[in-house]
Amino acid sequence: MSARTRILPALVALAAVAAVLPAGAQQPATVKLGIVSFLTGPAASPFGIPGRNGAEIVIEALNAGKAPPPFDKVGFGGSKVEAKYVDEAGSAANVVTEFRNLVQRDQVDAVVGYVSSGSCLAVTPVAEELKALTVFYDCGTPRIFEEKPRRYVFRVSPHATMDNVAAARYVLAKKKNITSYSGINQNYAWGQDSWRDFEGAMKVLAPKATADKVLFPKLFAGEYGAEISTLLTSKSQILHTSFYDGDLESFIFQEQARGLDKRMTIIMTTGETAIWRLKDKMPDGTIIGARGANGPLARDTEINRWFQKIYTDRYNTPPTYPAYQMAQSLLGLKLAYEKAAAAGGKPNADAVAAAFTGLEFTGPAGHVKMALGEGHQGITETAYGTYKFNKQTKMPEIVDIVRFPAECVNPPPGIDADKWIAGGMKGAKC
Amino acid sequence: MLTAFAIFADGLVYAAYLFIVAIGLTLIFGVMKILNVTHGSFYAFGAYGAATAVGIYANAGWPAALGFLFMLAFGMAIGLVMGVILERGLLRLVYGRDEVIVVLVTYATFLILEDVIVLIWGAQSYAAYQPMVAAGNIEIGDLILSNYDLVLVALAAGLAALAYWALKYTRYGRLLTTVIFDRETAAAFGINVTVVYTATFILGAMLGALGGAVMAPKISVTLGIGVEVIVLAFAVVAIGGMGSIEGALVGALIVGICRAAAVHLVPQIELFVIYGVMALVLVVRPYGLFVRARPRKI
Amino acid sequence: MAARGHLVGALMFLIAAAVGPALPDWAVSLAAIAFANALVVLGLVVMWRAGLVSFGQALYYCIGAYAVALIARWTGFTDAVALVAIGGVGAGIVAALVGFLLARYREIFFAMLSLALSMILYGVLVKTESLGSTDGFSVATPTFFGLSLHGDKLILALYWLTLGIDAIAAAAVGYYFRSIAGALAAPIRDNEIRVEFLGVSVTGIVHGKVVIAGTLGGLGGALAALTIGHVDPAMAYWTTSGGFVFVTILAGAGSVAAAFVGSLLFEAARSIAVDVMPGLWQMLLGAVLLLTILFLPEGLGSLAARVGKRGEVKR
């Protein structure tokens, strides 16, 4: 597919000349997927690129029929998978435009992608309108399936509420006598939601402890001197942060220069994306999350070893959680597709969506149950652990891993995550 | 008391950062009347260059102080090269056009350079923490301050003093002051304005890159760091008065202290502080704090 | 001369409207967003003629968009035409208030102050967690005089609505350019003190331009919100404003039509660039902008003028 064949129709149409477009010729032998994630901008390196790499390597393995069972059928139900990678960078208008282009111009069979919750929220109504099968892989907001039931939109990866509820549970299990906690989160939806869930869970689980310093520096601020001073004057035992990549690393460098981690234990809900790069610069004793049982927090199963190996062999670095989330999303979509294809012929979006609803399967990151949002939102177990840099092997290690069953840290079906936490997390099975 | 001291210390550190970032911008604006968006690229290239330099010296096992100087020199060398290329290759062509058009030329250059970073350094981020770690920290009461931050404050103060001395007491400085005040008259008196322009732009570019280089150890050097700095530097310069070095210093101090106070006392408003201060100052003093009355030309 | 210009303009809008049904949805949607953004660009053209550039036009764009989204969310009122009108008027009122402040400023200071104002709105929206902070929220599906449409019909209706409002705006701005206040733009740009000596209040004229541009910005934001179906605070961020200024320079201030063609070309170019050279589209956009400034100082509009009858479209 050369670039020119795509530019030409676009130009013709956009010059506002009525033209009959060459219909996107569809070969029955392939399944076309649009894979969207950040390829540029600050979110590319921590989330977008590992996500794209995960897609590349998994699709390659699937097309070769080399994945372990039950994923060993070639491609999707015998048809090779052809992927088109698109950058998520840009405004909501750009994201929606590119989504339409994928579905209507490139005629993909499904779109898998999106890191930013804003992108997911913007794409959802369009996907429903266009009846386009869409699987979100990384975005965290629970609002997608809480605002309205969806038909064509799915998310295999659990939403972000789980991360912060589990963080609170881990902290309280490992540290006795916590009287005070602080938080530093980026001043935008992700940071605000993370803190709200964490503080809510702490209020329920440890009503006597109080929140001391609640800081929301500007996104990508880069300089945290005043924040670190404020925290140094606090008596909190723990510090919650949902910082990632650039901001996380800047913060870690600056706080280490001033010894903050000697005063309080830092809990990083997305810390796992940074450990392979930071190595001994990540303070020992930091509590690390990976938005699920991903990466070093995943169970040692055959399929996990397989995924670790193919990814590490290709990219010379172990897969981080966005790669896991992408793999889980693609494998889930594959199973749903094959279930729908069992009826014969190439399944349409409705058939795949029906097969996807309520699906259960086990991937590299463990067992997924599409339990929430009327069978559209997955839940999995999750885990937290404590960071330790192994000086002999010069490799990061996660020790003291505690696993939390899916039903312990996710709301039961039919109740909004916020309300579940505020109402005392009733029905949690731990 | 502790809080008051912390606010003062943090404010000073932040002000030092702002001043180092803003001085090159205000210099170029003062002399050339160019609001230089490419300043963000100078900063980013300086930071990437410094990260590369730190990588080189960490592998070579040099002593930290030498490494620090090498890092600064490497960053500024990149600024020098970029300054020469941009001024001679591009800006020269648009002198005399509308100020706003020239801003857009620098904006376009900024967009291009953002992707050049990806081409040279790739999408991954870089770390250059070694100099900051090597500097260590000191404890004052409950507070622990990083010595590297203190070096930054000293550097900013040094730059301010140097700029003041250079403008007041050197030949080049006086020429510069003349051109800042009235370009045409200066040219009429035989000052080679073209040379002054070239020298100023290169100096500004090197200062921008220096800003990135000294910040590199504190931050994760990653895509998009230039964008954040542009608006920050613009705000400081607008508050102080475009083109005024002392203005940039006072603007940086005001913003630094206000921001530190906000973080310590009312963290909710931190996001607005800079723009709030800027809007407030501009309402009272439309052209910034330190700006001379301009002659009306009829 | 003006009459012929009107005729050509009207014809262009009619053709654009007529080809809509023949185009695939994704192209109609892209064109609708482009033509909505063109209104903001038109506002910038109005100001630029007097030498003023706002790096904060996203303020009005965002106000228009949020006005539409919030009214639909809180009251359930979804009539597209009325919502867009409210968005435009709302932004116009804000512009009128802000104008008392802004009209005193010129050059880079005008640009910087407008930037600061739009960034304050951005900060407020980011802080408003009940509206989803940076995630924003979705806009209810609009209705047309009680008629609720879906799928390709909805997109087409929005496209036509956008074109209709564009046509009205183009005519109104064309009329304004020929009025005394509009005609004084170039003299103000050249030497405002001389204009003052003529006994004209330059501040008043600039204030008027701020209001016109703000209203157009609000209309554009309102239409974009309906077409995209989602609003978020990034609509007020300075890079959004930068994008509009970019298109303005690309199009040039020469003619009203250039704003529309320029905006369409920009959206198309962006979409194609993202498609064929992902990761390098910023470089492409930057290069296009540079080349335009260096070789087409009056923008793409001047190209048309040069090819066609000299001066006719230009004045």
Q: What is the DSSP string of A182-223?
A: EEE--SSHHHHHHHHHHHHHHHHH-TT-EEEEEE-PPTT---
pLDDT of residue B295: 60
| Structure confidence at residue A404 (pLDDT) | 95
Q: Is the pLDDT of residue A276 over 70?
A: yes
CB nearest C245 (choices: B104, B116, B279): B104
- The predicted-structure confidence for B271-294, as pLDDT tens digits, reads as follows 788 888 888 888 888 778 887 666
Between C132, C138, C276, which is nearest A189 by CB? C132
The minimum CA-CA distance between A100 and chain C, rounded to whole Å, is: 5
Taken in order A229, A232, A233, A238, is the CA torsion positive or negative?
A: positive
Model confidence at C300, pLDDT cuts 50, 70, 90, reads confident
> Which single residue is written with the structure tokens 């190209």?
C303
CATH of B2-284, one of 1.10.1660, 1.10.3470, 1.20.58, 1.20.120: 1.10.3470
- Residue type for B148, please? Y
C285 contacts on B by Cβ (under 8 Å) = 108, 111
Q: Which of C53, C112, C289 to mutate to test the interface with B (most CBs of B within 10 A)?
A: C112
Cis peptide before A9 (omega within 30 of 0): no
Inter-chain residue contact B271 with C112, CB threshold 8 Å = no
Q: Distance, in angstroms, between A310 CA and closest chain B CA?
A: 21
Nearest to B278 among C107, C116, C289 (CB): C116
- Given an 8 Å threshold on Cβ–Cβ distance, is C274 in contact with A94? yes
Q: Where are the domains of chain B?
A: 2-284
**Looking at residue C311, what is its pLDDT?**
44
Residues of C in contact with A190 (CB under 8 A): 134
List of E strands, chain C = 137-138, 143-144, 147-148, 230-231
Residue C133 forms contact with A (CB below 8 Å): yes
Which residues of chain B fall short of a pLDDT of 50?
none
| Percent residues over pLDDT 90 in chain C | 34
In contact, B72 and B212? CB cutoff 8 Å: no
Interchain proximity C232–A125, CB inside 8 Å = no
CATH of C2-250, one of 1.10.10, 1.10.1220, 1.10.3470, 3.30.70: 1.10.3470
Q: Do B127 and A253 touch (CB under 8 A)?
A: yes
B100, B272, B297 ranked by CB distance to C53: nearest? B100
Burial A211-245 (b: 16+ CB within 10 A, else e): bbbebbbbbbbbbbbbbbbbbbbbebbbbbbbbbb
Tokens representing A56? 């590349």
CA pseudo-torsion sign C288, C290, C293, C294? negative
Handedness of CA B215, A267, A396, A302 (dihedral sign): negative
Distance of CA A170 to the CA centre of its chain: 20
* Amino acid at the residue A130: L
The chains in contact with chain B, meaning 3 or more Cβ pairs closer than 8 Å, are: A, C
State the SS3 of C228-272: HCEECHHHHCHHHHHHHHHHHHHHCCCCHHHHHHHHHHHHHHHHH
Sign of the CA dihedral with C76 first, then C78, C79, and C80 last: positive
Dihedral angle of Cα B92, B98, B99, B101, to the nearest 10 degrees: -80
Distances (CA, A) of A71 to A322, A351, A376: 20, 19, 21
CA distance C279 to A89: 9
Both tokens of C119, joined, read 């960034």
Interface test with B, best of C290, C291, C294, C296 (most B CBs within 10 A): C290
Contact between A92 and C132 using a beta-carbon 8 Å cutoff? no
Looking at residue A308, what is its pLDDT?
94
Nearest to B133 among A218, A226, A257 (CB): A257
Report pLDDT for C190.
82
In the sheet with A382-390, reading across from the earlier edge strand, the strands are A210-215, A180-184, A238-241, A265-268, A287-289, A382-390, A395-404
Q: Is the pLDDT of residue A187 over 60?
A: yes
Strand (E) or helix (H) holding A7: helix A3-14
CA neighbor of B41 nearest in space, from B24, B17, B16: B24
Under an 8 A CB cutoff, do A225 and B13 touch? yes
What share of chain A has pLDDT > 70, as a percent? 93
Q: In this predicted structure, what is the pLDDT of residue A306?
A: 95
The pLDDT assigned to A362 comes to 94
CA distance A284 to chain C (A): 33
The sign of the dihedral angle between the CA atoms of C166, C167, C170, C172 is negative
Contact A410, A372 (CB under 8 A): yes
In this predicted structure, the answer to whether residue A144 has a pLDDT above a threshold of 70 is yes
Judge whether residue A319 has pLDDT over 90. yes
pLDDT band at A309 (very low <50, low <70, confident <90, very high): very high
Determine, for residues C24 and A104 on separate chains, whether the beta-carbon distance falls below 8 Å.
yes
C-beta of residue C90 within 8 angstroms of C-beta of residue C79 = no
Please report the pLDDT score of residue C68 as a whole number: 94
Structure tokens that stand for C303 in this block: 């190209």
**B72, C248 Cβ separation under 8 angstroms:** no
Candidate from B111, B235, B272 with C-beta closest to C286 = B111
Looking at CA atoms only, how far is residue C227 from chain A in angstroms?
A: 9
Best mutation target, B111, B263, B273, B274, to test chain A (most A CBs within 10 A): B263
Average pLDDT estimate for A361-381: 93
In this complex, the residue of A232, A249, A259 whose CB is nearest that of residue B220 is: A249
Q: Which residues contact B67 (CB under 8 A, 6 or more apart)?
A: B53, B54, B57, B58, B130, B131, B134
Cβ neighbours around A415 below 10 Å, total: 15
CB contact under 8 A, B267 and A215: yes
**Which residues have a Cβ under 8 Å from the Cβ of A232 and sit 6 or more positions away?**
A258, A260, A263, B6, B142, B143, B144
Query: So what's the pLDDT on residue A9?
Result: 44
Report, as an integer, the average pLDDT of C275-297.
Answer: 81
Say whether pLDDT at C268 is over 70. yes
Give the minimum alpha-carbon distance from A424 to chain C in angstroms, rounded to a whole number.
21
Please report the domains of chain A, with CATH numbers, ordered by start residue. 25-160+299-379 (3.40.50.2300), 161-290+381-422 (3.40.50.2300)
C245-254 pLDDT, tens digit per residue, is 988 888 887 7
Chain C residues close to B244, C-beta within 8 Å: none
Please state, in angstroms and rounded to a whole number, the distance separating the CA atoms of residues B31 and B186: 12
Residue A27 CB burial class (10 angstroms; 0-12, 13-18, ≥19):
exposed
Which residues in A118-264 belong to E strands, given as ranges?
134-136, 153-155, 180-184, 210-215, 238-241
Which residue does chain A place closest to C240, by CA atoms? Answer: A91
> For position C158, what pLDDT does the model report?
92
C187 touches chain A (CB under 8 A): no
The predicted structure's pLDDT at residue C2: 58
Residues within 8 A of B (CB atoms), C 129-168 only: none
- Tokens 């050059």 — which residue? C107
Strand duo B220-221 + C147-148: pairing: unpaired
The Cβ of residue B12 has, within 10 Å, a number of other Cβ atoms equal to 22
Task: State whether residue B263 sits within 8 Å of chain A by CB.
Answer: yes
Q: Are C97 and C117 in contact (CB under 8 A)?
A: no
Contacts 24+ apart (CB under 8 A), A383-386: A383/A166, A383/A290, A383/A292, A383/A293, A383/A297, A384/A166, A384/A167, A384/A170, A384/A267, A384/A287, A384/A288, A384/A289, A384/A297, A385/A287, A385/A288, A385/A296, A385/A297, A386/A174, A386/A285, A386/A286, A386/A287, A386/A288
- Mark yes or no for CB contact B228/A221 under 8 Å: yes
CA C243/CA B181 separation, integer angstroms: 33
Give A6-51 pLDDT, tens digit per residue: 444 444 444 433 333 333 334 457 999 999 999 887 788 888 999 9
Cross-strand pairs, A397: A388
| Inter-chain CB proximity B125 and A45 less than 8 Å | yes
pLDDT tens string C112-152: 888 888 988 998 898 888 888 888 888 888 888 888 888 78
Do the chains contact at B145 and A216, CB–CB below 8 Å?
no
Q: Looking at beta carbons, which residues of chain C come within 8 Å of B231? A: 115, 119, 238
Residue C301's pLDDT is: 67
User: What pLDDT does B155 receive?
Assistant: 94
**DSSP string computed for A341-381:** HTTSS---HHHHHHHHTT-EEEETTEEEEEEETTTTEEE--
Position A409 scores a pLDDT of: 94
Q: What is the mean pLDDT of residues C9-19?
A: 84
Strand ranges inside B82-158, DSSP E: 126-127, 137-140, 143-146
